[in-house]
Amino acid sequence: MSDPAFKQLVGTHHEGLYRFALALTQREEDACDLVQQVYSTWAQTGRQLREGARATIWLYTSLHRAYLEMRRRTARLAGHPLEAGATGVPSVRPEVAEAADGKAVLGALGRLDEDYRTPLVLFLLQRHSCHDIAEILEIPVKTVLQRLARAKTEFHQALERGECSEPAGQPSGVDTPASP
């Protein structure tokens, strides 16, 4: 496609979309497929949006929807009730944070339930606001806040316990994208 606006859109959002997709799928091939599908959908229908914040929200929402559809095709989504009253996040000891590397972090993320991993990735890695995450995932802001609190707690506990190996049931050899 020779449209300069489309090329700029891809250049601006490709790395973030790919990282989000990889965090969701834990498989490089699936992440690439999801990102490609989002760009294809944008080329067909998303051009009605102007560039900027709305385009960003649209891209991430579309990627998340495509991921959910992919999951529906392969297995039923398991529903996990949220725990009411999720509270503060425990602090992480500095030596744990310093020892964590990219693969360890990806492994710990992979061990989180999808309902918690998705908002955590959008918040910490993609730097979306809670309101944007709520819009992307199509859930209430309060639910986002509860899931973030729970995700941070479980993630920090996994790092402290050293549960940073390959996520259970995930294929080995998944490469992480290069850091910016």
More confident: 1 or 162: 162
Q: How far is 33 from 29, CA to CA, in rounded Å? A: 6
Query: What CATH number does the domain containing 51 carry?
Result: 1.10.1740.10
180: in domain:
no
Is residue 64 within 8 Å of residue 131, measured between CB atoms?
no
Q: Provide the pLDDT confidence category of residue 11 given band limits of 50, 70 and 90.
A: confident
Q: Looking at the structure, do residues 98 and 68 belong to the same domain, yes or no?
A: no
43: in domain:
yes
State the residue range of the domain holding 10.
Answer: 4-74
Query: What CATH number does the domain containing 145 carry?
Result: 1.10.10.10
Is residue 38 within 8 Å of residue 17, measured between CB atoms?
yes
20: in domain:
yes
Q: Looking at the structure, do residues 70 and 98 belong to the same domain, yes or no?
A: no
Q: Is the pLDDT of residue 37 over 50?
A: yes
Copy the structure tokens of residue 20.
Answer: 């989000």
DSSP assignment letter at 46: G
The answer to whether the pTM exceeds 0.85 is no
Is residue 28 within 8 Å of residue 174, measured between CB atoms?
yes
Q: Looking at the structure, do residues 101 and 157 belong to the same domain, yes or no?
A: yes
80: in domain:
no
Is residue 115 within 8 Å of residue 177, measured between CB atoms?
no
Q: Looking at the structure, do residues 99 and 65 belong to the same domain, yes or no?
A: no
Q: What percent of the chain has pLDDT over 70?
A: 68
106: in domain:
yes
Q: Looking at the structure, do residues 46 and 100 belong to the same domain, yes or no?
A: no
More confident: 93 or 9: 9
Give residue-wise pLDDT tens across range 39-74.
888 877 766 665 566 788 888 888 998 898 888 776
172: in domain:
no
Q: Is the pLDDT of residue 133 over 60?
A: yes
44: in domain:
yes
Q: How many domains does the chain have?
A: 2
141: in domain:
yes
Give residue-wise pLDDT tens across range 136-160.
899 999 999 999 999 988 888 887 7
Q: Looking at the structure, do residues 70 and 100 belong to the same domain, yes or no?
A: no
* Terminal alpha carbon distance of the chain: 26
Q: How far is 58 from 76, CA to CA, in rounded Å? A: 25
Average pLDDT taken over every residue of the chain: 74
Distances (CA, A) of 55 to 38, 95, 121, 147: 12, 39, 19, 25
